[in-house]
Amino acid sequence: MRRLVWALMGVTLMASLAVAGSVWSYHSYLLSVQQLQAGLAKAGTPEKKGFVLVDVRTPEEHRAGMIPGTDFNIDFREIKTRHRELGVQPDDHIVVYCQSGHRSNIAAETLADLGYRHVYNVAGSMNAWSEAGFPVDRPGR
């Protein structure tokens, strides 16, 4: 009986390490608004920026103002079911933002859990972007 208990504990530990290892391998990263702005400025045009920029706030919040160069607006609660709309591969770079960084953190971790390897959450998101004095676009402008 003792051997069975030790064997089960070993299997459980190995399974835990395997799961922890896979989650650790595909975690999201934090990006400052200054780094995001520099990346956008360096690109020259939104099409050449080398990453997909996703606003994960509600459509109402998005209409009130967004970071220039935003490619998609997908509510963070829908990112798991709508992520294919981004048209990206697992090795492509995805940057997500919301109002404060909380919802975008959830969206970033969700995308990482789905296997995307280069997911970035914008620290402070729109609040930090506005406080830094960076421009804000309105959809349809």
Residues 84-97 pLDDT 10s: 999 999 999 999 99
In whole angstroms, what is the distance from residue 80 CA to residue 105 CA? 13
Residues 90-116 pLDDT 10s: 999 999 999 999 999 999 999 999 999
Q: Which amino acid is at 96?
A: V
Every domain of the chain and the residues it spans: 26-131
Cβ distance 10 to 108 under 8 Å? no
Q: Using the 8-state DSSP alphabet, how is residue 40 labeled?
A: H
Is residue 12 scored above 60 in pLDDT?
no
pLDDT at position 141:
60
| CATH of the structural domain 26-131, one choice from 3.40.250.10, 3.40.640.10, 3.20.20.70, 3.40.50.620 | 3.40.250.10
Is residue 60 scored above 80 in pLDDT?
yes
Q: 107 φ, ψ to 5°?
A: -65, -40
In whole angstroms, what is the distance from residue 79 CA to residue 76 CA? 5
